[in-house]
Structure 1
C-alpha cells in the first residue's frame, strides 16, 4: 500500500502561479508596458515551469521581448504557430483564458517567486533521486566520489539562486556605506586596509590584500633545480631508459621515485619543465655514477635533501642500491645472445658483421644463435692459426635463390586466384611487363615501396608473398643480420662508440641475465684474490657501454664500481673502463643468477670462496652520521648493553663513530631497539655513495620533472629532487591575525605542507624535520611551533585537480562552519581542471581564472592563486618576469587584481651579489602602484622575511 502511495506522489508545483505569471506578462504586453517582464526576468527561467505548455509560452514571450517585438495574444500565438507549437501550448483559446483570468500584473513578482520555489523543490527531489540511484548502482565507486558528486549537484541548484534576483544598487545607498568605510579607515593607526601579508614593504605598496581581489603569485617552476639534457630516466613500467628531453617533449611518462619508507616505486610526473640554458655541474661518485645538474638541485644526504651548492667532495649521497624494474620485451633468447656477442667481440665497421673469440664453446654458441636469422651464412676465418678465429656473417646466396623461387610460386598462385594476367598487373602498377615476368620466374623480386604497392594490388599480406622477408630474398638488400644490427644502431660502430641498444632495457629478468652472462663471457673475468676474496670484472674501451652495463647490474641489485684505467695497446696507452664487483653478497648473486658462459670452472671456484669466507671489508655501509641516530634511539642504554641485547659477547666493540655502519649490523640494532627509523634505513633501496668530484661544465640546456607527493625521481641511476611565498602569507594571516585561512594544495600532500609550516614557524631546518634527526635546540622550537599552530584557524585541502566549482563549494562550506574566511590560497592554478574535456587549455585556464575571481567577489575574500611562468623568459638576458610570461595567460591578466612575480637572481647567477634575497615584483595592481619589494629568503626554513641585508642562508625552494 505504501508503495502505491509513493508512486502517486506528484512533484511540487503551482499551476495557478504559473498561469498568473504568463497571464500577467500577456496583460502587460497588451498595455505596452514592459515593467512586468523586467520584474521577473532575473527571477525565473523557462525550466522553472512545471508544465510543458507553460514552458513553450514563456519561451515565446522571452524571444519576442529579446527581439523588441510587440507582446500580445496575437504575436505570441503567431510565434508558436510558425514553429508548429501552438497546439502543444494549448491553442489560442488557452492563451486568451490566461490573459482574461489574470486580473492584473501587479503581483507578478510574488507569482514568480512561487514558481521558482516549486522549481527548486522539484530539482532537489530529482537530485535526491539521482543520489539514491548512484548509491544503489555504485558498483565499486568510492563513497567519497559519490559524496563529491552529490554535493556538486546540490550546490549547482544553490548557485542558480545566487545568480538570480540580483538588482542594481543605488549610488545614494552606496555613498553612505562607502563614507562609513572611509571613516573607519581614518581611525586605523596603519595604512593596511586589507589582509596583511606580514611583509612591511609589500603591505605599504598594496595596503594589504583586499577583499574580493584575485591575487596571482607566479614564478618559474623548480627555480633552477634541473638536470641536463641527455640525462636518462628509467621508465619502471617498460624498463626503457628515456631521455628527459623526450619526456618533456611528449609531456608523458613514468619514472621511479623514492617513497617515505625509502623504497622505490612507480610514479607519473605532474609537470614536464623546459628550463632553458643554465650553468651546470657534473657530479661523479665513488661507484662511478655521474649526473649533471644545476647548483641548486638537491641530493639526498643522511641529514636530508641538500642542494649541490651545500655539498662538498667526500660527502655521501643516496643512490639506488637496486632498481627492481624489468620489461616484457619480445626479443628472443638467440637475438639477446647475439647483441651481447656483437657488443663485446663484434666487428661492425666492415660490410659484413664479424665475431672474434678464442673460446670454441663461445664461437659455437654464437653460430647456434645465428639460426634465428634464415638467409645468412657464416665463415670461419683464422688465417691458418695466425690470428684469433673470427666468424664472418654474410648473405646465404643459396637460401636467397630458394626464397626467390618461393616468392615466384606464391606470386603466380595469387595471380591465378585473382584471374589477373601479367599484362594487366603491369598496367595497374605502371611497370614494364618484363619486370612482372621476372618476378614470376624468380629472377627478381620487388623491393622497397614497390613491394608494398604490389601487396595492396594483390590484396595480400607481405608475409604471405615473402615469408622470409625482403632482406633474405632480395639480391641488392643487405643480409638480414646486417639490417637488424642497423635497426639497433650498432652497425658501423667501433669499439669506443658501442653502447647497449634500447630493446635490451625492456627485457624480462631472465633474458637480461642471459645478456649479461654472454657479455661477461667475452669481456668479463671471474677471479679469486689471495685465496680469500672472490671478484668479478668487466672491461671495455667504451665509457658509455661501461655505464650501461653498470645500470643493468643495478636492476638485479648488484653494485659494480666503475674505474677509469690506462691500458697499453700497440705501443701506446689508451683509456679503458672496468666494472668491478667485490661485495661478496653481490658476487654470489651474480654467479648464482647470471653466471658466465664458458668460464664455469672459474665461476665455481669463486662461488665456493665467496660462500665459505667472511669478507674482511664491508662495502655497503651507511654514513658515520648514522651513529648519532643509533645513539638517539638507544637513549640511556649503554653500547655494552646494546651489544648484549644483540647477542654479542661481553666487551664487543662497535667502533662507534670510527667507521660506517654496515646494513646488516644496522638491521640487528633496529630489531634490538624496536626502531622503525633504523629499520627503514637498514632495509632501504639506497646505497650511500661518496662524491668524488664536482666539475663545472658551463651552460647547458636543462629540464625538470615535478613528481607529486614524493618530489624526487631517479635519473642516471642517481636520486634527484624537485610554495613558499604564498604559504608564508597564509601562515601570517592564520597564526598572527587569527583569520580563518583555506589552503588548497593540489601538488603537495597536507602532511608535507605541515612539515614546511613547522620548519618555517619554528625556524628548524626542514631536512632535519624530514629525517627526524633533530638537535636539542630544535625540539623546543618544534614544540613552540606546534603550540602556536594548535589553535590556528588554517584548513588544508590536498585533493588533486579541483575545479572552480569544487573549490567554491568547499570554501562556502568552510565559511558557513566558521562564520568567516580571511584568505584562500590555491597551489597552483595550472593543476586545476574545469570538469569538462577541452582541447584548448588556454580557454580552460581562462575559465578557471574567471571562476576564482567570481569566488573572491562572492565570498568577499582575497584569493591567492599560484601560477607558473612559461619558459620564454629563459631566452632573455634579463630573466625578470613580465605579464606576458604567465603560462596560458589568457584571461589571467584581465581577471587578476594583483599580479606578483617572485625573482631570485642567484638561481640564474650563482655568484649573484643578491644571494639569499628575492625580488617581489608587483606587475599589476588595479588600485595601487606597481614596483618591487625586496625580501630575505631563508632556504633551509622555506621562509621569506622582511629584507635584512646581512642575512644570507644558502638554501632550496
Structure 2
C-alpha cells in the first residue's frame, strides 16, 4: 500500500497516545473504494465517529452517502466532495484518495480492520468516560451528588456498550420463524392461551395471551379504581409462578413466570409488602396497619410471610426518578440477577421526570420522552414493561365513566408508544358515591323507593371490576370482568355464575 502522510495522534494529558490504528483505517477505506460491494457490507457496521483520523471519518461518510444514492464510490466520484476540505489539503489534497487505493492489500483483511476500528473507538470512549468520572469526582463543592455521578457514569458506560448494537438486528426469515415457533411451543406447554408472562388471571391471559417480551403495556385509571392493586397482583402472580416453576425443576426459558422489578414512585416498599401480605393472608390491609388482628390472624400473616420470603420481587421505592436513572437502576438489577428479570412494573408514569433538556413548561413533550424511554427499555432488555398512568378528569364529566384512549392524561405519545393499553374501571365506586338519603321512619315512599333502587344497583355491581383492553397490537380489543375485594386489595377471576 502507498505511504500515506497522516497527522500524528495527539497524546493525552498523561503523555500516552489514545488507542488508534490509522493505518487500518486507511487500508479499509481503500478496500471500500476498490470494491463497492465490500463498502455496502461495511457501511452499517461503523459510523464516522469511530475513526480516529477526522479526515477518514469524513471519507467514510461520503462513501456511505454515495452508496446510499446507488452511486459508485471511487477516488474520482469522491474528489468533488473534498476539494475544499482543509484536513484533506494537509494530506496533499484529493490526490490522497487515490493513495488510499494504491494497494489492494486492504481487500483481504477489510472485515477484520472494521472490527479493530470499532474496538479501538470503544476503548477511546472508555478513556473519555474515565476521564470525565475522575474530573467530576475531584469536584467537592456542596452541589455535588456522588450517587447521581455514579448513575451518570453507568449511563455513559451503557452507551459505550450499546454502541454498534444494531449490527446484528437484521434477521433471516429462518431466524424469525424459529423464534415464532418457540413462542407457540411455550403457549402449547402452558396449556394454551399463554405465550408470554402470566398475569395470574386466566380470563386476562385468555384475552391478551400473556405479557410479551419487548412490549410496553399501559395500565390506566382514575384514582380509586385499583390500578396499583392490579399491578401489584400481577407482579406478585408472575413472581410466584417463577418461584414455583423453579422449585418444580422447570427450565427458566420455559417458565411463564418471571422475576419482577417493581419501581414504586408513589408507595413505599413496606406499603406494597403490606398489600401483598394482606392479599395472601386474607386479612384487611387496614387491620394490618392498625394492628387490629387476632392471634390466629397473626399466625396466618407469619405463615404467608414465611412462604413469600424467597419471592423474586424486587422493589425500588426511590421517589422522583428520572427516566435515565430508571434505565440505569434496571440494568444494574438485571446484571445482579443474571439477566433473569422478566417483568418491569412502573407505578406510575407521571411521577417520572425527563432529561430536563426541554422547556419546563412543556409537560406533554416530557411525558412523550418518558413513554418513549419506557418503550426503549422494554426493547433493550427484551422484557414486558407495565407502566401505570393517570387519566384526565374528563372521565368524571361524562355520564358513562368508562375510560377512553383520549382520556390518557398528557397523552403525547403514550397511546402511540404502547403495545397495549388497559383501563381498570369499577362501577361500584361511582354507584356508592350516588347513595341517596337513607330513609328513616316517617319518610315518604319515594325516599324508600329511591334508596331501595340504589341498593339493588349496588348489589348488582358490588365487587366487580372491568379491565378494558382499549389497544392491543397482538389481538382484539374488548373487556374482561374481574372480581375485586377492596378489603384485601385483590383482583381475581370472576366465578362463571357471576356473569
TM range (shorter): 0.7 to 0.9
Judging changes above 3 Å, is the alpha-carbon distance between structure 1 residues 905 and 855 closer, same or farther for their aligned structure 2 residues?
Answer: same
Q: Residue 199 of structure 1 aligns with which residue?
A: 201
Q: Residue 810 of structure 1 aligns with which residue?
A: 329
Q: 1:23 aligns with which of 16, 24, 30?
A: 30
Aligned partners of 2:194 and 2:205 also within 8 Å: yes
Q: Residue 356 of structure 2 aligns with which residue?
A: 836
Is residue 14 of structure 1 aligned with residue 21 of structure 2?
yes
Aligned partners of 1:56 and 1:89 also within 8 Å: no
- For 1:446-457, what aligned pairs fall within 5 Å after superposition? none
- For 1:894-909, what aligned pairs fall within 5 Å after superposition? 894-909=416-431
Aligned partners of 1:214 and 1:897 also within 8 Å: yes
**Residue 180 of structure 1: CA displacement?**
4.9
Q: 1:780 aligns with which of 299, 308, 316?
A: 299
Judging changes above 3 Å, is the alpha-carbon distance between structure 1 residues 884 and 867 closer, same or farther for their aligned structure 2 residues?
Answer: same
Aligned partners of 1:937 and 1:945 also within 8 Å: yes
Q: Residue 708 of structure 1 aligns with which residue?
A: none
Structure 2: runs of 5 or more not aligned: 1-10, 244-257, 433-453
Judging changes above 3 Å, is the alpha-carbon distance between structure 1 residues 835 and 770 closer, same or farther for their aligned structure 2 residues?
Answer: same
**Residue 81 of structure 1: CA displacement?**
1.8
Tell me, in whole angstroms, the C-alpha distance in 2 between the residues paired with 1:794 and 1:90. 63
Tell me, in whole angstroms, the C-alpha distance in 2 between the residues paired with 1:135 and 1:11. 22
- For 1:97-116, what aligned pairs fall within 5 Å after superposition? 97-116=99-118
**Residue 132 of structure 1: CA displacement?**
1.2
Aligned partners of 2:67 and 2:73 also within 8 Å: yes
1:304-344 Cα offsets, whole Å, 9 max, x none, are xxxxxxxxxxxxxxxxxxxxxxxxxxxxxxxxxxxxxxxxx
Q: 1:927 aligns with which of 451, 465, 474?
A: 474
**Residue 182 of structure 1: CA displacement?**
3.3
**Residue 145 of structure 1: CA displacement?**
1.6
Aligned partners of 1:17 and 1:115 also within 8 Å: yes
Tell me, in whole angstroms, the C-alpha distance in 2 between the residues paired with 1:75 and 1:868. 57
Other structure's SS at 2:409 match: coil
1:380-436 Cα offsets, whole Å, 9 max, x none, are xxxxxxxxxxxxxxxxxxxxxxxxxxxxxxxxxxxxxxxxxxxxxxxxxxxxxxxxx
Aligned partners of 1:852 and 1:863 also within 8 Å: yes
Aligned partners of 2:217 and 2:422 also within 8 Å: yes
Instruction: Work out which of the two has the higher radius of gyration on C-alpha atoms and give 1 or 2.
Output: 1
Q: 1:853 aligns with which of 375, 381, 397?
A: 375
Judging changes above 3 Å, is the alpha-carbon distance between structure 1 residues 66 and 89 closer, same or farther for their aligned structure 2 residues?
Answer: farther
Task: With the length of structure 1 as denominator, give the TM-score of the two structures.
Answer: 0.44
Aligned partners of 1:48 and 1:116 also within 8 Å: yes
Other structure's SS at 1:215 match: strand
Q: Residue 146 of structure 1 aligns with which residue?
A: 149
Q: 1:755 aligns with which of 274, 291, 295?
A: 274
Q: Residue 217 of structure 1 aligns with which residue?
A: 219
Aligned partners of 2:201 and 2:492 also within 8 Å: yes
Aligned partners of 1:735 and 1:788 also within 8 Å: no
Aligned partners of 2:184 and 2:195 also within 8 Å: no
Judging changes above 3 Å, is the alpha-carbon distance between structure 1 residues 736 and 7 closer, same or farther for their aligned structure 2 residues?
Answer: closer
Q: Residue 863 of structure 1 aligns with which residue?
A: 385
Aligned partners of 1:843 and 1:890 also within 8 Å: yes
Tell me, in whole angstroms, the C-alpha distance in 1 between the residues paired with 2:64 and 2:363. 35
1:354-398 Cα offsets, whole Å, 9 max, x none, are xxxxxxxxxxxxxxxxxxxxxxxxxxxxxxxxxxxxxxxxxxxxx
Q: 1:745 aligns with which of 254, 264, 267?
A: 264
Aligned partners of 1:27 and 1:104 also within 8 Å: no
Judging changes above 3 Å, is the alpha-carbon distance between structure 1 residues 184 and 948 closer, same or farther for their aligned structure 2 residues?
Answer: closer
Greater share of helix:
2
Q: Residue 81 of structure 1 aligns with which residue?
A: 83
Judging changes above 3 Å, is the alpha-carbon distance between structure 1 residues 89 and 221 closer, same or farther for their aligned structure 2 residues?
Answer: farther
Q: Residue 445 of structure 2 aligns with which residue?
A: none
Other structure's SS at 1:757 match: helix
Other structure's SS at 2:73 match: coil
Q: Residue 799 of structure 1 aligns with which residue?
A: 318
Q: Residue 232 of structure 2 aligns with which residue?
A: 727
Other structure's SS at 2:88 match: coil
Aligned partners of 1:758 and 1:786 also within 8 Å: yes
**Residue 773 of structure 1: CA displacement?**
4.0
- For 1:97-246, what aligned pairs fall within 5 Å after superposition? 97-140=99-142, 141-162=144-165, 164-183=166-185, 185-223=187-225
**Residue 755 of structure 1: CA displacement?**
2.2
Aligned partners of 2:220 and 2:424 also within 8 Å: yes
Aligned partners of 1:54 and 1:89 also within 8 Å: no
Aligned partners of 1:730 and 1:741 also within 8 Å: yes
Q: 2:489 aligns with which of 938, 942, 957?
A: 942
Judging changes above 3 Å, is the alpha-carbon distance between structure 1 residues 792 and 24 closer, same or farther for their aligned structure 2 residues?
Answer: same
Other structure's SS at 2:89 match: coil
Tell me, in whole angstroms, the C-alpha distance in 2 between the residues paired with 1:935 and 1:884. 24
Other structure's SS at 2:16 match: coil
Tell me, in whole angstroms, the C-alpha distance in 2 between the residues paired with 1:100 and 1:877. 79
Q: Residue 477 of structure 1 aligns with which residue?
A: none
RMSD: 2.6
Other structure's SS at 2:102 match: helix
Structure 1: runs of 5 or more not aligned: 225-722, 952-957
Greater share of strand:
1
